[in-house]
Amino acid sequence: MLQLRPFESLGHANHGWLDAHHHFSFAEYYDPARMHWGNLRVWNDDLIAAGSGFPPHPHRDMEIITYVREGAISHQDSLGNKGRTEAGDVQVMSAGTGIVHSEYNLEDIDTRIFQIWIVPERTGEAPQWGSRPFPKGERGEGFVTLASGRAGDEDSLQIRTDARLVAATLRAGETAEYRFDAERRGYLVPAKGLVEINGLRAKARDGVAIEQEAVLRVTAIEDSEIVLVDVA
Protein backbone atom coordinates (compact mmCIF):
# COMPACT_ATOMS: atom_id res chain seq x y z
CA MET A 1 0.00 0.00 0.00
CA LEU A 2 1.26 3.44 -0.94
CA GLN A 3 0.07 6.71 0.54
CA LEU A 4 0.98 9.93 -1.27
CA ARG A 5 1.66 12.95 0.94
CA PRO A 6 1.86 15.90 -1.46
CA PHE A 7 4.45 18.55 -0.72
CA GLU A 8 1.66 21.13 -0.45
CA SER A 9 0.16 19.18 2.49
CA LEU A 10 3.32 19.24 4.63
CA GLY A 11 3.73 21.34 7.74
CA HIS A 12 5.48 24.65 6.98
CA ALA A 13 7.39 27.24 8.96
CA ASN A 14 9.33 30.11 7.39
CA HIS A 15 11.74 31.77 9.82
CA GLY A 16 13.42 33.94 7.19
CA TRP A 17 16.83 32.30 7.34
CA LEU A 18 15.17 28.86 7.51
CA ASP A 19 12.29 27.74 5.28
CA ALA A 20 11.22 24.37 6.67
CA HIS A 21 8.65 21.82 5.52
CA HIS A 22 7.79 18.92 7.84
CA HIS A 23 6.67 15.48 6.68
CA PHE A 24 5.92 14.59 10.33
CA SER A 25 4.80 16.53 13.39
CA PHE A 26 7.68 18.77 14.47
CA ALA A 27 8.07 21.93 16.55
CA GLU A 28 4.85 23.95 16.15
CA TYR A 29 3.44 21.68 13.43
CA TYR A 30 1.21 18.99 14.92
CA ASP A 31 -0.78 16.36 13.06
CA PRO A 32 -1.79 13.27 15.08
CA ALA A 33 -1.92 11.25 11.84
CA ARG A 34 1.70 12.13 11.05
CA MET A 35 3.58 11.52 14.28
CA HIS A 36 5.94 8.87 12.93
CA TRP A 37 6.21 6.01 10.45
CA GLY A 38 7.59 2.96 12.20
CA ASN A 39 10.77 4.13 13.93
CA LEU A 40 11.08 7.09 11.52
CA ARG A 41 10.24 10.17 13.59
CA VAL A 42 11.24 13.26 11.55
CA TRP A 43 11.78 14.13 7.90
CA ASN A 44 12.37 17.85 7.46
CA ASP A 45 12.86 19.52 4.09
CA ASP A 46 14.95 22.58 4.94
CA LEU A 47 16.23 25.56 2.96
CA ILE A 48 18.97 27.33 4.93
CA ALA A 49 19.84 30.79 3.64
CA ALA A 50 23.44 31.59 2.74
CA GLY A 51 25.49 32.70 5.74
CA SER A 52 23.01 31.42 8.33
CA GLY A 53 22.27 28.23 10.22
CA PHE A 54 21.49 26.48 13.48
CA PRO A 55 23.53 27.78 16.46
CA PRO A 56 24.79 25.28 19.08
CA HIS A 57 21.97 23.19 20.53
CA PRO A 58 21.69 19.80 22.27
CA HIS A 59 20.34 16.40 21.20
CA ARG A 60 20.01 13.09 23.01
CA ASP A 61 18.97 9.54 22.07
CA MET A 62 18.27 10.09 18.38
CA GLU A 63 19.86 9.02 15.09
CA ILE A 64 20.04 12.17 12.93
CA ILE A 65 20.87 11.86 9.23
CA THR A 66 21.46 14.89 7.03
CA TYR A 67 21.21 14.39 3.26
CA VAL A 68 22.49 17.47 1.44
CA ARG A 69 20.56 18.19 -1.76
CA GLU A 70 22.14 21.50 -2.80
CA GLY A 71 24.97 23.60 -1.39
CA ALA A 72 26.81 22.41 1.72
CA ILE A 73 26.43 22.28 5.49
CA SER A 74 29.24 22.82 8.02
CA HIS A 75 29.07 20.87 11.27
CA GLN A 76 30.80 21.42 14.63
CA ASP A 77 30.08 19.62 17.91
CA SER A 78 31.05 19.25 21.56
CA LEU A 79 33.20 16.21 20.73
CA GLY A 80 35.51 18.40 18.67
CA ASN A 81 34.26 17.12 15.31
CA LYS A 82 34.24 19.53 12.39
CA GLY A 83 33.14 18.82 8.84
CA ARG A 84 31.63 20.18 5.66
CA THR A 85 29.12 17.97 3.84
CA GLU A 86 28.39 18.81 0.19
CA ALA A 87 25.46 18.12 -2.11
CA GLY A 88 24.96 14.41 -2.69
CA ASP A 89 26.76 13.47 0.52
CA VAL A 90 25.50 12.34 3.91
CA GLN A 91 26.35 12.96 7.55
CA VAL A 92 25.15 10.93 10.52
CA MET A 93 25.04 11.95 14.18
CA SER A 94 24.20 9.42 16.88
CA ALA A 95 23.22 11.72 19.74
CA GLY A 96 23.55 8.96 22.33
CA THR A 97 23.93 10.19 25.90
CA GLY A 98 24.04 13.79 24.69
CA ILE A 99 25.80 16.07 22.24
CA VAL A 100 25.77 19.78 21.42
CA HIS A 101 26.26 20.75 17.78
CA SER A 102 25.85 23.57 15.29
CA GLU A 103 25.00 23.41 11.59
CA TYR A 104 25.79 26.42 9.41
CA ASN A 105 25.50 27.23 5.74
CA LEU A 106 28.80 29.04 5.22
CA GLU A 107 28.32 29.10 1.45
CA ASP A 108 27.31 32.07 -0.71
CA ILE A 109 24.25 30.19 -1.97
CA ASP A 110 21.23 28.68 -0.21
CA THR A 111 21.62 25.12 1.05
CA ARG A 112 18.84 22.56 0.82
CA ILE A 113 18.83 19.46 3.01
CA PHE A 114 16.68 16.57 4.15
CA GLN A 115 17.13 16.04 7.88
CA ILE A 116 15.90 12.64 9.00
CA TRP A 117 15.51 11.48 12.62
CA ILE A 118 15.15 7.80 13.48
CA VAL A 119 14.53 6.47 17.00
CA PRO A 120 17.53 4.38 18.18
CA GLU A 121 17.29 0.80 19.39
CA ARG A 122 20.28 1.25 21.68
CA THR A 123 20.59 4.04 24.23
CA GLY A 124 23.17 4.89 26.87
CA GLU A 125 26.07 4.87 24.39
CA ALA A 126 28.57 7.62 23.70
CA PRO A 127 27.62 10.12 20.98
CA GLN A 128 29.37 10.01 17.62
CA TRP A 129 29.39 11.80 14.26
CA GLY A 130 30.57 10.88 10.78
CA SER A 131 30.18 11.90 7.15
CA ARG A 132 30.94 10.31 3.83
CA PRO A 133 30.98 11.51 0.22
CA PHE A 134 28.66 9.69 -2.13
CA PRO A 135 29.14 11.50 -5.46
CA LYS A 136 26.08 11.03 -7.62
CA GLY A 137 28.14 10.20 -10.68
CA GLU A 138 29.68 7.19 -8.94
CA ARG A 139 26.51 5.64 -7.54
CA GLY A 140 25.90 3.44 -10.53
CA GLU A 141 22.55 1.90 -11.24
CA GLY A 142 19.82 1.36 -8.70
CA PHE A 143 19.66 2.13 -5.01
CA VAL A 144 22.84 2.59 -2.99
CA THR A 145 22.93 2.21 0.80
CA LEU A 146 24.21 5.40 2.44
CA ALA A 147 23.52 4.78 6.15
CA SER A 148 22.30 1.70 7.96
CA GLY A 149 22.10 -0.21 11.21
CA ARG A 150 21.17 -3.49 9.50
CA ALA A 151 23.38 -6.57 9.22
CA GLY A 152 25.39 -6.71 6.01
CA ASP A 153 25.57 -2.94 5.57
CA GLU A 154 28.82 -2.39 7.44
CA ASP A 155 30.35 -0.46 4.51
CA SER A 156 27.80 2.35 4.95
CA LEU A 157 27.65 5.02 7.63
CA GLN A 158 26.46 3.25 10.77
CA ILE A 159 23.38 4.11 12.80
CA ARG A 160 22.14 2.50 16.02
CA THR A 161 18.76 1.34 14.85
CA ASP A 162 17.04 -1.15 12.55
CA ALA A 163 16.80 1.12 9.52
CA ARG A 164 18.49 1.81 6.20
CA LEU A 165 18.81 4.99 4.12
CA VAL A 166 19.24 4.43 0.39
CA ALA A 167 19.32 6.76 -2.61
CA ALA A 168 19.27 6.51 -6.40
CA THR A 169 19.79 8.85 -9.31
CA LEU A 170 17.87 7.90 -12.44
CA ARG A 171 17.71 9.33 -15.92
CA ALA A 172 14.31 9.68 -17.55
CA GLY A 173 13.05 6.22 -18.48
CA GLU A 174 15.33 4.33 -16.07
CA THR A 175 13.95 2.07 -13.33
CA ALA A 176 15.28 0.97 -9.95
CA GLU A 177 13.86 -1.72 -7.66
CA TYR A 178 14.02 -2.07 -3.89
CA ARG A 179 12.88 -5.20 -2.02
CA PHE A 180 11.39 -5.06 1.45
CA ASP A 181 11.52 -7.78 4.07
CA ALA A 182 8.11 -8.82 5.39
CA GLU A 183 6.35 -6.40 7.74
CA ARG A 184 8.75 -3.50 7.10
CA ARG A 185 7.79 0.01 6.08
CA GLY A 186 9.38 2.65 3.88
CA TYR A 187 9.22 6.36 3.29
CA LEU A 188 10.32 7.77 -0.06
CA VAL A 189 10.88 11.36 -1.17
CA PRO A 190 12.07 12.43 -4.64
CA ALA A 191 14.71 15.10 -4.03
CA LYS A 192 14.19 16.21 -7.61
CA GLY A 193 12.39 15.08 -10.73
CA LEU A 194 9.18 13.12 -11.27
CA VAL A 195 8.79 9.39 -10.64
CA GLU A 196 6.25 6.60 -10.76
CA ILE A 197 6.31 4.17 -7.82
CA ASN A 198 4.37 0.94 -8.36
CA GLY A 199 1.99 2.96 -10.50
CA LEU A 200 1.75 5.98 -8.18
CA ARG A 201 3.18 9.25 -9.50
CA ALA A 202 5.13 11.54 -7.15
CA LYS A 203 6.83 14.84 -7.89
CA ALA A 204 9.87 16.39 -6.25
CA ARG A 205 9.54 16.75 -2.44
CA ASP A 206 6.30 14.75 -2.18
CA GLY A 207 6.36 12.01 0.45
CA VAL A 208 5.27 8.43 -0.15
CA ALA A 209 4.51 6.23 2.87
CA ILE A 210 4.99 2.55 2.03
CA GLU A 211 3.77 -0.61 3.75
CA GLN A 212 2.87 -4.15 2.68
CA GLU A 213 4.89 -3.82 -0.53
CA ALA A 214 7.41 -6.61 -1.15
CA VAL A 215 8.98 -4.89 -4.16
CA LEU A 216 9.16 -1.21 -4.92
CA ARG A 217 9.62 -0.39 -8.60
CA VAL A 218 10.57 3.25 -9.22
CA THR A 219 10.60 4.62 -12.78
CA ALA A 220 11.85 8.11 -13.57
CA ILE A 221 9.48 10.12 -15.74
CA GLU A 222 12.18 12.80 -15.88
CA ASP A 223 15.74 12.87 -14.52
CA SER A 224 15.28 12.20 -10.81
CA GLU A 225 17.02 11.77 -7.48
CA ILE A 226 15.27 9.56 -4.91
CA VAL A 227 15.83 9.11 -1.18
CA LEU A 228 14.23 6.17 0.67
CA VAL A 229 14.25 5.04 4.29
CA ASP A 230 13.50 1.39 5.13
CA VAL A 231 12.31 1.13 8.76
CA ALA A 232 10.95 -1.40 11.23
Burial annotation 106-127 (CB, 10 A radius, 16+ → b, else e): ebeebbbbbbbbbbbeeeeeeb
Q: Measured between alpha carbons, how far apart are the two ends of the chain, in Å?
A: 16
- On whether 103 is known to bind a ligand per the annotation, the reply is yes
Q: Which candidate, 108, 111, 116, 176, places its Cα nearest to that of 142? A: 176
Amino acid at 189: V
- On whether 211 is known to bind a ligand per the annotation, the reply is no
Neighbours of 176 (CB within 10 A): 22
Q: Which candidate, 35, 34, 22, 23, places its Cα nearest to that of 188? A: 23
User: What contacts 231, CB < 8 A, 6 or more positions away?
Assistant: 37, 38, 39, 40, 118, 162, 163, 184, 185, 186, 187
- On whether 22 is known to bind a ligand per the annotation, the reply is no
Strands (E), the chain: 2-5, 11-14, 18-22, 40-48, 52-59, 63-70, 72-77, 82-86, 90-94, 99-105, 111-118, 128-132, 144-148, 157-158, 163-170, 175-179, 185-197, 200-203, 207-211, 215-231
Annotated binding site for Fe cation: 57, 59, 101, 103
Annotated binding site: 57, 59, 101, 103
